[in-house]
Amino acid sequence: MSGGVDSSVAAGLLIEQGYDVIGITIKTYKYEDVGGNVGNDSSCCSLDGINDARRVAMQLGFPHYTVDWTEVLKQKIIDYFVEDYLAGNTPNPCTRCNRLIKWEQMLAKADALGAEYIATGHYAEIVHDPVTNRRWIRQSPDAVKDQSYMLWGVKQEHLARTIFPLSGFTKQRSRSEGERLGLHLAQKQESYEICFVADNDYRRFLKDVVGKDRFSTGNIVQDDHVIGHHEGYPFYTIGQRKGIGVSAPEPLFVLDVVPSTNTVKVGKEHQLYHDALSAKDVNLLKYETLTEPIECTVKVRYRDNGALARCWVDADGLLQVRFAEPRKAIARGQSVVMYEGTDVIGGGVITSAFNHNA
């Protein structure tokens, strides 16, 4: 329970369905360690969120616990977030947190409490095929709130113990259910930022955590010519246009960041397009294997409409994707997620983007 509308309504609905509910709220970070909006947090998992979750539990009459997972989250999520930026990537900590914390850690806690299932307020559906005994995620009918992209990494055995009470819901329906249940937070504003970057300023966060001295001035390069200087390569992401710090006759975009040479490469928009990518840490949901290429719709970022591609997993366990048309600004570290209609086939973490016939 994050202290938001969705998880609170999910708990209320489960009680009405006859489940014995235990509320768990995760303390994900030490406020003094992450800086930013300390003392006035509005993000999920914030101090305000913990208090709201506790109030809902008291109102609906079920036990509520706050678990301090700051150390494990620092090791598995925050450190990864920092290290990935220092490696020149654009990490997606939420997909990793879903798999390692909200499911793996939470199910261990469920076992300790004698609970059979975990439930969340995610907008998605779990589908089970009794013939293959495989489970996968299906998109929510609410396209704005659909969270299927973020759930590609959840394991089969974890999905088997998961309930999504808001399957088929829209956000407006959730708010209406919250009103019906008499919850004080039914109209609470939503939070979109990364929970441990409460002010949504990852550059400030990196400076605070790593130290300003780690970020040295380097070259901004176009076609092997130095055209400017930057104050730290992790502060640039592939596809970025604004705030590069150089002027040119036509718009320039960040094409790559190269930690080994402390260089930011920029170029024209057409140079951002690639028709192929590779990905690691592959997790397949709908199918057990994917050795033969299949055609599917592929998303390379959360707010992506998706594009047609051929996909397969090679002998080295890497996901290979070949797009029908080149895609813009494919960033290392982001998640690539495959869809068959509204069903999530699986996904991985992007390691490279390229043009396969080049």
The residues that are catalytic are 97, 195
Quick one: the chain helix, strand, coil %, rounded to 5? Answer: 30, 30, 40
- Helix, strand, or coil (residue 330): coil
Pairing type for strands 263-267 and 118-119 reads unpaired
Cα 32-35-36 angle, rounded to 5 deg? 140
Q: Provide the sign of the torsion angle of the four alpha carbons 251, 323, 278, 141, taken in this order.
A: positive
Nearest to 187 by CA among 195, 178, 196: 178
Provide the residue type at 119 as one letter. Answer: A
Helices (H), the chain: 5-16, 31-34, 47-60, 70-73, 79-86, 93-97, 106-113, 156-159, 171-180, 202-210
Which of 309, 308, 302 lies closest to 331 in space, CA to CA? 302
Phi then psi for 311, rounded to 5 degrees? Answer: -135, 145
Eight-class DSSP state of 68: E
> Rounded to whole angstroms, how far apart are CA atoms 39 and 116?
36
- What is the Cα–Cα distance from 356 to 358, expressed in whole angstroms? 6
User: Rounded distance, CA 338 to CA 172, Å?
Assistant: 28
- At residue 250, what are phi and psi to the nearest 5 degrees? -135, 160
Q: If you ran DSSP here, which 8-state letter would residue 7 be given? A: H
Closest by CA to 282, choosing from 353, 352, 348, 350, is: 348
